[in-house]
Amino acid sequence: MGHPVGRESSPAAQPDLPPGQRLQRGWPVTHYGPVPRFRPERWEFRVFGATADGDKRCWNHEEFSELPYSTVVADLHCVTKFSMLGAEWGGVPARTLLDLAPPAPNVTHVMVWAEYGFSSNLRLADFTSERTIFATHKDGEPLTAEHGFPLRLIVPGLYAWKGPKWVRGVEYMTADRRGFWEERGYHNIGNPWREQRYSYQEEPGDGPEL
């Protein structure tokens, strides 16, 4: 008898959980399509589109591995409502790549490209956040294949679909364009604290016409 003590976390008990999210034990695997096979000799990371000098930049896997490594502690919030809190992501901050391959002054958004043509668009300000990181490691261990090895993006302030696994490049854009899930009913911006899950919730200015 008495009041049921739910295992559901209340907002007071879990201040780190955005509205509508619940904690998940372990680390589920969520993505569309098959897990790509990593072929180091074919892998390259490209920055292209509206770069400051008009040239693209390209790193092979060995070159990319030599870029400066740092870590960021960040949560993962899947739009299907599970969250994982407090992971330490290791890799190359987006800021580092922006310094190495500066965007033209009129760049407003980026498209992050992954294997099989998966993509996600970000506002430049979300991409240039000092906590946005191209992760090769989680909690000191290399990513596993299903979690995005050799490289995935982590954008701490946004739902996890904004961070492609098996990422292969970044396109600098001078106007916004929807990525894979953003074309298929998910919110163009995707801030979990504002519960921006679906495109029907978008307000004028949140994204290009559907």
**Binding flag, residue 23, ligand MTE (CB under 6 A):** no
Site size toward ligand MTE (CB under 6 A) is 17
Site map (CB under 6 A) of ligand MTE, residues 88-127, x = contact? --------------------------x---x---------
> Out of 166, 171, 187, 189, which residue is the one contacting ligand MTE (CB under 6 A)?
166
The 3-class SS string of the chain reads CCCCCCCCCCCCCCCCCCCCCEECCCCCCCCCCCCCCCCCCCCEEEEEECECCCCCEEEEHHHHHCCCCEEEEEEEECCCCEEEEEEEEEEEEHHHHHHHCCECCCCCEEEEEEHHHCEEEEEHHHHCCCCCEEEEEECCEECCHHHCCCCEEECCCCCHHHCCECEEEEEEECCCCCCCCCCCCECCCCCHHHCCCEHHHCCCCCCCCC
> Out of 97, 160, 173, 189, which residue is the one contacting ligand MTE (CB under 6 A)?
160
**Binding flag, residue 78, Mo ion (CB under 5 A):** yes
Q: Which of ligand MTE, Mo ion, none lies near 166, with the C-beta cut-off 5 to 8 A by kind?
A: ligand MTE
- Distance of alpha carbon 38 from alpha carbon 115, whole angstroms: 10
Interacting span for Mo ion (CB under 5 A) from 11-19, 26-34, 82-90, 169-177: 26-34
CA angle 24, 7, 28 (to 5 degrees): 10
**Binding flag, residue 27, Mo ion (CB under 5 A):** no
**Binding flag, residue 30, ligand MTE (CB under 6 A):** yes
Q: From the CB of 57, what's the least distance to Mo ion, in Å? A: 29
Q: Please count the other Cβ atoms lying within 10 Å of the Cβ belonging to residue 27.
A: 15
**Binding flag, residue 193, ligand MTE (CB under 6 A):** no
**Binding flag, residue 134, ligand MTE (CB under 6 A):** no
Query: Taken in order 100, 101, 107, 108, is the CA torsion positive or negative?
Result: negative
> Out of 16, 20, 22, 32, which residue is the one contacting ligand MTE (CB under 6 A)?
32
Residue 161 vs 172, nearer CB to Mo ion: 161
Q: Which of ligand MTE, Mo ion, none lies near 147, with the C-beta cut-off 5 to 8 A by kind?
A: ligand MTE
Question: For binding to ligand MTE (CB under 6 A), which residues are involved?
Answer: 27-32, 78, 114, 118, 147-148, 160-161, 163-166
Question: For binding to Mo ion (CB under 5 A), which residues are involved?
Answer: 30, 78-79, 160-161
